Chain A
Amino acid sequence: MQLALFIIFGALAVAGALNLLLQRHPINSALSLVVVMMSLAVLYWSLGAEFLAAAQVIVYSGAIMVLFVFVIMLLNAGEEEHTTGSRAAYIVGFPGAAAIFCILSFVFLSERKALGLTNLGGQLNSGLSNIAEISTVLFTRLLLPFEVTSVLILVAILGAVVLARKEQ
């Protein structure tokens, strides 16, 4: 079950990511990113993080990506054109990304034994549900960071309003 979920949704995520890279039109890229995020939500669920799976769908696919699609529609962004800058980026981009991938996967695969196996659902420390566990830690030990993020969001909202306002 775990293996089947991993293969199906891992493949879907990789396909979505590659499609993001290959598509010329931003709206197609945005939709492939939505596919990546939805399959990641399933993978989170299979790793025992139900709350994050739901949050991934609601926050990422349901709010942030809708905002992307909305802005693309609003600005009527067309297909991107190739320029001299993009040719330089091709020369640097692909080898660089390939190098990062090689290093990372070499490290992960050589430490494969030490990393261990996963099992569906997963057991965390206590028998509590995932949501109860997250909220207990979030509202006791990590209360200050939590409050600071709320201030951060407030600042971001104000900044967005100021930046996007039309000049009088």
Chain B
Amino acid sequence: MSHLSPFQTFLLLSILKIVVVLVITLTAVAYTVLLERKVLGRMQNRWGPSRVGPFGLLQPLADGIKLFLKEDLMPMAAQRPLFIIAPIIALACSLISIAVVPFGAVQRVKGVDIFNVADLNIGLLVILGITSIGVYGIALSGWSSNNKFALLGSLRATSQMISYELALGLSLVGVVLRAQSLSLRDIVNSQAAHGALSWNIFGGFQFVAFFIYLMAAYAETNRSPFDLPEAESELVAGYHTEYSSMKFAMFFMAEYANMITVSCVATLLFFGGPSSPFGHLIPDFGGPIVQAILPIGWFVLKVLAFLLLYIWVRGTLPRFRYDQLMSFGWKVLLPIAMVNIIVTSLILALRG
């Protein structure tokens, strides 16, 4: 690679990073679906998918082939361009935000950080912005399919996501105040000093913020117990009622990719990201390669724990009623988030 200019090296490595991260994320999405079906099955006293491959491990492949080969229906009364573009917006927005997530400790190859696609100094704002753009996918899908259930589902989803975005954004302010930066790298570094004790949720006393974030995140991703937009018993399938084949698969993947993104952000902001929970208690072992891979292991483990929590909650809690959802967001989460900001900033100011 010596004959390449620094810019060309940067470009090549960036493209490589993007491809690798995309492939890994999409695989992770497929296997999150399998994980959910398996775990939910066990919770409900059944096996879950078990026929394709050993332990049903090839089930995502079979699902993918099935969705690819299905007929792609276009409803007669649909607004064609918007109907096609809506699932693309939804999937793209859920995949883009993974770009600012740092997966491991800083490892530079030829000046390029290989475990982070883009380290931006406004990383957290980028994630919030892209999440808020993702609303369009859902809003447009419901409107363009010209179906009353889809429209109702998307109206519900849109207002739910706008409402909970506020609580989501405000719950993160405490963390930003502590780290004094919006770069996700800096936020992770600010929690790396003493292992689990310096994580924002324990050492930073941000557990209130964490629970607000958790609930707002469940609502943002339209997951149980806030899955009103796709409440089967009321709205058939909500905003993607009219979608079939790959377009449906895109919405499906977007939901799970969003789950993964939200888990990544929770890990980074409240659980120290890729840093080890033991801090420096355990002496460094192995060579530099083991030390480079170990943080990724921690990161994946934490994200996986969040995904399991998601599934556990889905298997446990019933669905909210719509007015309960709205009043919970506006009258409970939002005031608590504001109080959390005030208390955090007061403590930080008094400590100097």
Q: Residues of B contacting A130 with CB < 8 Å? A: 121
CA distance A73 to B129 in the complex (A): 22
Size of interface on B: residues with Cβ below 8 Å to A: 27
Residue ID in chain B nearest A69 by CB atoms: B139
B87 to chain A, nearest CB (A): 15
Interface of chain A, helix or strand or loop or mixed? helix
Which bracket fits the contact residues of A? 20 to 34
Q: Residues of B contacting A34 with CB < 8 Å? A: 136
CA distance A55 to B182 in the complex (A): 13
Q: Is the CB of B121 within 8 A of A70?
A: no
B136 to chain A, nearest CB (A): 7
CA distance A131 to B82 in the complex (A): 36
Residue ID in chain B nearest A54 by CB atoms: B125
Stretch in contact with the other chain, from A60-68, A106-114, A144-152: A60-68
CA distance A34 to B89 in the complex (A): 13
Which residues in chain B, 135-171, are within 8 Å of chain A measured between CB atoms? Answer: 135-136, 139-140, 142-143, 151, 154-155, 158-159, 162, 165, 169
Q: Is the CB of B122 within 8 A of A54?
A: yes
Q: Residues of A contacting B154 with CB < 8 Å? A: 73
Q: Among the interface residues A54, A61, A63, A67, which one has the most CB atoms of the partner chain B within 10 A? A: A54
| B133 in contact (CB, < 8 A) | yes
Q: Residues of A contacting B155 with CB < 8 Å? A: 70, 73-74
Q: Among the interface residues B132, B154, B165, which one has the most CB atoms of the partner chain A within 10 A? A: B132
A-B pairs with beta carbons under 8 Å apart, 20 shown: A27-B143, A31-B136, A51-B125, A54-B125, A54-B128, A57-B130, A57-B133, A58-B128, A58-B169, A62-B131, A62-B133, A63-B165, A66-B139, A66-B158, A69-B139, A69-B140, A70-B139, A70-B158, A73-B158, A130-B121
Q: Residues of B contacting A131 with CB < 8 Å? A: 121-122, 182
| B39 in contact (CB, < 8 A) | no
CA distance A49 to B134 in the complex (A): 23
| B126 in contact (CB, < 8 A) | yes
- 4 nearest A-B pairs in the assembled complex, by CB-CB distance: A62-B132, A54-B125, A57-B129, A58-B129
CA distance A131 to B182 in the complex (A): 9
Q: Is the CB of B135 within 8 A of A50?
A: no
Q: Is the CB of A54 within 8 A of B142?
A: no
Q: Residues of B contacting A69 with CB < 8 Å? A: 136, 139-140, 143, 158
CA distance A100 to B178 in the complex (A): 49
What residues of chain A have their CB less than 8 Å away from a CB belonging to chain B?
27, 31, 34, 38, 50-51, 53-55, 57-58, 61-63, 66-67, 69-70, 73-74, 129-131
CA distance A53 to B125 in the complex (A): 10
Q: Residues of B contacting A27 with CB < 8 Å? A: 82, 140, 143
Q: Is the CB of A63 within 8 A of B132?
A: yes
Contact partner of A58 (CB less than 8 A), chosen from B125, B136, B139, is B125
CA distance A70 to B130 in the complex (A): 18
Residue ID in chain B nearest A73 by CB atoms: B143
CA distance A38 to B165 in the complex (A): 19
Q: Is the CB of B139 within 8 A of A62?
A: no
Q: Is the CB of B121 within 8 A of A62?
A: no
Interface of chain B, helix or strand or loop or mixed? helix
CA distance A66 to B162 in the complex (A): 8
Q: Residues of A contacting B130 with CB < 8 Å? A: 57
Q: Is the CB of B162 within 8 A of A63?
A: yes
A165 to chain B, nearest CB (A): 16
Q: Is the CB of A129 within 8 A of B121?
A: yes
CA distance A61 to B130 in the complex (A): 10
CA distance A53 to B120 in the complex (A): 13
B48 to chain A, nearest CB (A): 37
Given A73-B151, A73-B155, A66:B132 Cβ within 8 A? yes
A110 to chain B, nearest CB (A): 36
Q: Is the CB of A66 within 8 A of B135?
A: yes
Q: Residues of B contacting A38 with CB < 8 Å? A: 133
Q: Residues of A contacting B122 with CB < 8 Å? A: 50-51, 53-54, 131
CA distance A51 to B128 in the complex (A): 13
Contact partner of A73 (CB less than 8 A), chosen from B121, B128, B139, is B139
Given A27-B143, A66-B158, A50:B136 Cβ within 8 A? no
Apart from A61-B129, A62-B133, A73-B151, list 20 A-B contacts with CB within 8 A.
A27-B82, A27-B140, A27-B143, A50-B120, A51-B125, A53-B122, A54-B128, A55-B125, A57-B130, A57-B132, A57-B133, A58-B129, A58-B132, A62-B132, A62-B135, A63-B132, A63-B165, A66-B162, A69-B136, A73-B139
CA distance A130 to B121 in the complex (A): 9
CA distance A34 to B282 in the complex (A): 51
CA distance A74 to B143 in the complex (A): 10
Q: Among the interface residues A27, A53, A62, A63, which one has the most CB atoms of the partner chain B within 10 A? A: A62
